[in-house]
Structure 1
């Protein structure tokens, strides 16, 4: 029964069945660009506690703009600056589209090779032959599994590269925020110093008119006032530059960034430091550049397997031919074409793939070594900056306040003059400015350390600006301007 039913199927039904089979084979490989971006978004949420939306539609872009406005409606902290950068950085959006392209390449590797249809018409005297053939590339079909693995590993490697770029953008935003907040605090302090210097210069001028101090002492007090004004000008310029660098890191233009407000000071210093051994192990476990190097090694290993499979078979095609003649019966049957490896045995391709694999192993080991050294260096810098900032807060400034209290007591007891009191005030201002810079340097070093635990400090994102990477060149007020 079943054979007769099979023979009774009409050509239309047979064509429909063939089309259904082809559609089923094609449906096994579907485009999923959102799934390609999802691992990067998950890593961003896990390690940065921030979202990285892919703004493919106008609705998504409007949602990002609304969230940007909500973040700008309150004073911006370090975490909010990272979120703003991820929402507005156009380069990250371009990278996400690149992952969509890689997903398309993955699907392309999953697709079955297209059959080749050949048609021919041959005439010999009164005889005419019509040749029709249908063939498949068996080499491509046999290597399909290896291509699938290589394409998947390539996509995963690109995902790790994208995650490194996200890390670099977030780190640049955090450093720029630290620098901008510190510069703003320095500007406020410089203004306080200027107010004190102007009061001292005014007092000195009155005392000089009364004949209580010499022209020399008056000139010294006026020099202190001029120096304080210069310091305010330089600090104001630095604060403006750092704010501009922050807006660039956040991906905001001047009109949108006008609503940005910063806190008055940096967060307080932590009470203790993290364990060096735990930090180094954490870096080796989760650094993105190490994972990317491992992915590349796996991809080359898959490529080596593919090269070994096809080293002797470059072109292998299986087909079906149908030749029809007006004088002879129709000829039909299968055909097989094979490229004979007489000169090229594929040994060069296999050797090259093997060397590339060994090279990748060595590069992975070197990446791990450099990552370990980078984390260790970042930790040393952060630890030293923490100790310096703590020393200012726990030793230097308390001693300076004690000295100031003693100076004020002696001034009230007429043991010291007003010039001594002003000189002590200027020394207090200098030490406070140095303490603010020490706090800023610590938080910058801590930002570098946190980034080094996940990836390199100088790749995958925008380069660090000079204002965000180096200490400010703005000098403090001169402490010895007043003589006795």
Structure 2
């Protein structure tokens, strides 16, 4: 009778702890934890599609964004919502949240019932067992799962930022490829006209077979260039379509006719290394992984000698007599003292610490490299815009004046057109490389770049 009251009191305490430890679900599959992160780094929201209302909202967004030429920001907004691979990653948060909630709940008690009969006697045994180790370590386990959830949050947000960056690059590639096709067709049209002119001049006896062959060869190369750039444009567009997760009628979206103009000045970022280490989500995730491993190491040391500890209330009936009591089961560390588990935890921690250092080192290097590539790409594109293209235009104007004054031949006029074609194509390529370098710099620094002074035709 003296044991019954403490057991009842212990049961009340365990019930209170169980109720206090019951964590609840967020209702948004954990997406509220990454929304601000993704919004700040990409300029677009991230949401998991769970209901028909979410799908209808996405359809309305697609109609609004695809009803006009698709901008780079519109492409990023669509990709963050409609890329199915990314949507699958979003559900990793739901899995991690479920593990976190589960870690905050105590293990269910075990009830045992034993009935035996022999020699005219009946023996009945009832037991109610609680796992005390799970009770003692529940707060620590919840903290570990909390860090795991935070790490998953950063990993999913990092993947969303990466998808946004890949979408920006795919958009730049697709628009540049379309611009290259348009210019290649213009060149092919001029080459066709010059080839016809050469044929007529050859028939009139005013041109040599050599000159006519040169114009025909240029026309043939221009037509091949149209086919080549058309195929490249198709591949680039399909890549963008995959990033956007589109098919059917929405996949027939329109793109701008040309890339945005070069900004008036490049962004001047003095602390690229510090910004990368501070802002990059993969660095933050590696840091959390190290902290979580350290916490797990503490758990391994705390349970080194007590691996199984269970407390149970026992009630026995033997015939007409009844007995009450309790039972404690303790694993004796006779053969396994837990040294191997502790050594393994320490090794895992050192592994995580070195991976954190490697991630930070790589982030610093990538930031320096990307910033140098960004500035170099800007300088090259600006050189073409401010020096090469104006010089080529000046040469073309002078050539045309001399041709009109009958100081140059038709052949020389056409040769100048070919040289101008090469310069314009090179400028389109340099402009594309600049916008790709800017996207790469955003990825290396972990988020959108500080605003610069854009010129006419900004990327927004």
The TM-score normalised by the length of structure 1 is 0.86
Using the TM superposition, give the Cα deviation of residue 24 of structure 1 relative to its aligned residue in structure 2, in angstroms: 7.3
State the partner residue of 1:472.
none
- The CA distance in 1 between the partners of 2:394 and 2:156, in whole Å, is 53
User: Does the 8 Å CA contact 1:127/1:327 hold for their aligned counterparts?
Assistant: no
- The CA distance in 2 between the partners of 1:97 and 1:26, in whole Å, is 27
State the partner residue of 2:270.
277
Using the TM superposition, give the Cα deviation of residue 335 of structure 1 relative to its aligned residue in structure 2, in angstroms: 2.3
User: Does the 8 Å CA contact 1:186/1:235 hold for their aligned counterparts?
Assistant: yes
- The CA distance in 2 between the partners of 1:395 and 1:428, in whole Å, is 13
State the partner residue of 1:167.
161
- The CA distance in 2 between the partners of 1:218 and 1:112, in whole Å, is 89
- The CA distance in 2 between the partners of 1:23 and 1:295, in whole Å, is 28
- The CA distance in 2 between the partners of 1:85 and 1:327, in whole Å, is 74
Using the TM superposition, give the Cα deviation of residue 122 of structure 1 relative to its aligned residue in structure 2, in angstroms: 3.8
Using the TM superposition, give the Cα deviation of residue 261 of structure 1 relative to its aligned residue in structure 2, in angstroms: 1.0
Aligned to 1:426, which of 389, 393, 418? 418
Secondary structure in structure 1 of the residue aligned to 2:34: helix
Secondary structure in structure 1 of the residue aligned to 2:182: helix
Q: Could you report, residue by residue, the CA deviation over 1:41-84 in whole angstroms, capped at 9, with x for unpaired residues? A: 22111111112221111221121122112110011111111111
Using the TM superposition, give the Cα deviation of residue 26 of structure 1 relative to its aligned residue in structure 2, in angstroms: 7.1
Q: Could you report, residue by residue, the CA deviation over 1:319-340 in whole angstroms, capped at 9, with x for unpaired residues? A: 2111122243x21122222111
State the partner residue of 2:432.
440
State the partner residue of 1:304.
297
- The CA distance in 2 between the partners of 1:126 and 1:233, in whole Å, is 98
Aligned to 1:253, which of 247, 266, 269? 247
State the partner residue of 1:318.
311
State the partner residue of 2:87.
93
Once the two structures are superposed, the pairs formed by residues 248-397 of structure 1 within 5 Å of their partners are: 248-258=242-252, 260-328=253-321, 330-397=322-389
Using the TM superposition, give the Cα deviation of residue 183 of structure 1 relative to its aligned residue in structure 2, in angstroms: 0.8
Secondary structure in structure 1 of the residue aligned to 2:416: helix
Say yes or no: does 1:157 pair with 2:157: no
User: Does the 8 Å CA contact 2:41/2:161 hold for their aligned counterparts?
Assistant: no
- The CA distance in 2 between the partners of 1:336 and 1:215, in whole Å, is 106
Once the two structures are superposed, the pairs formed by residues 22-101 of structure 1 within 5 Å of their partners are: 25=19, 28-34=22-28, 36-101=30-95
- The CA distance in 2 between the partners of 1:148 and 1:445, in whole Å, is 43
Structure 1, gaps ≥5 residues long: 1-6, 8-13, 456-484
RMSD of aligned Cα (Å): 2.2
Aligned length: 439
State the partner residue of 1:146.
140
State the partner residue of 2:106.
112
User: Does the 8 Å CA contact 2:181/2:226 hold for their aligned counterparts?
Assistant: yes
Per the alignment, do residues 347 and 78 of structure 1 end up closer, same or farther by CA in structure 2, a change over 3 Å counting?
same
User: Does the 8 Å CA contact 1:247/1:254 hold for their aligned counterparts?
Assistant: no
Using the TM superposition, give the Cα deviation of residue 255 of structure 1 relative to its aligned residue in structure 2, in angstroms: 2.8
- The CA distance in 1 between the partners of 2:236 and 2:350, in whole Å, is 46
Per the alignment, do residues 23 and 373 of structure 1 end up closer, same or farther by CA in structure 2, a change over 3 Å counting?
closer
User: Does the 8 Å CA contact 2:38/2:44 hold for their aligned counterparts?
Assistant: yes
Using the TM superposition, give the Cα deviation of residue 127 of structure 1 relative to its aligned residue in structure 2, in angstroms: 3.1
Secondary structure in structure 2 of the residue aligned to 1:156: helix
- The CA distance in 2 between the partners of 1:243 and 1:100, in whole Å, is 33
Q: Which moved more, 1:310-319 or 1:219-228?
A: 219-228
